[in-house]
Amino acid sequence: MQRLREQAFDLFEIELDTHKLHQLQHYVELMLGWEANLTAITEPEAIAVKHLLDSMSLLYYIDFLPGSQVVDVGTGAGFPGLVLKILRPDLSLTLIESVGKKTAFLSHVVETLKLERVQIVTARAEDVGQEQAHREMYDYVVARAVAYLPTLAEYLLPLCKVGGRAIAMKGGSALNEVADASAAIEVLGGKFTTLHSVVLPTIEEPHILVVLDKVKLTPTAFPRRAGLPSKRPIEPEA
């Protein structure tokens, strides 16, 4: 944990006090002790870099305004959403995950760590994006390793309010994905803004944040019913 504190400050200018370090450590212990397999990464040093520091990178490159509404789509074991919440308690967080065993774990973490203003939704992103309580309600929509960007854009942008931002945490294919997703991004009311390259210790493969701005309302036809965005991603008109 001391090494994590040093790396967080050196890489991302994040100061981790004792309370936040304790919460992060407890979170990892809960994850590793859970009866269901939540991550293929189980070595503490790898967890610190590939899960915790990777999630923290968002706070360095993205200016999350105080009190913002944040939604993490396909959050899995809670990355990056729960890390953001631990480090920025002022944020209101919604976690969307379709697998009930994972949302049971997320509920346990939120209760154990006494995290406030966290909502957990067990559902597909396509369904949540059509619900009035969630559609175009969020200042920031984030996702990590969920889907190829032409599909992911249809999960994220309908949840993002106009003037908000969607951030996709991607690997080395990010540039190609942005090109392939250009039509989908435009149709869904988004605009590609920038890429941020994240350098993590001991990690050779690229980690890239793809930032999309929401510039207009998403047409009511989107997102389409569950499964369609991945089977038939939005493509440029012939």
Tens of pLDDT, residue by residue over 57-76, are 999 999 999 999 999 999 99
pLDDT tens digit sequence for 129-155? 999 999 999 999 999 988 999 999 999
Return the domain boundaries, the chain: 63-231
Report whether 192 contacts 137 (CB < 8 A): no
CA atoms within 13 A on the CB side of 23: 20
- CA distance readout (Å), 138 to 30, 149, 155, 211: 28, 19, 13, 15
pLDDT score recorded for residue 2: 86
Q: Using one digit for the tens of pLDDT, what is the confidence trace for 28-50?
A: 999 998 977 777 777 878 899 99
Which has more confidence, 9 or 46?
9
> What tokens appear for 101 in the block?
């065993």
pTM of the model: 0.96
Question: Would you call 183 helix, strand, or coil by DSSP?
Answer: helix
3-state secondary structure of 210: strand
Confidence band, pLDDT 50/70/90 cuts, at residue 238: low
Classify domain 63-231 at the CATH topology level.
Rossmann fold (3.40.50)
pLDDT at position 211 is 98
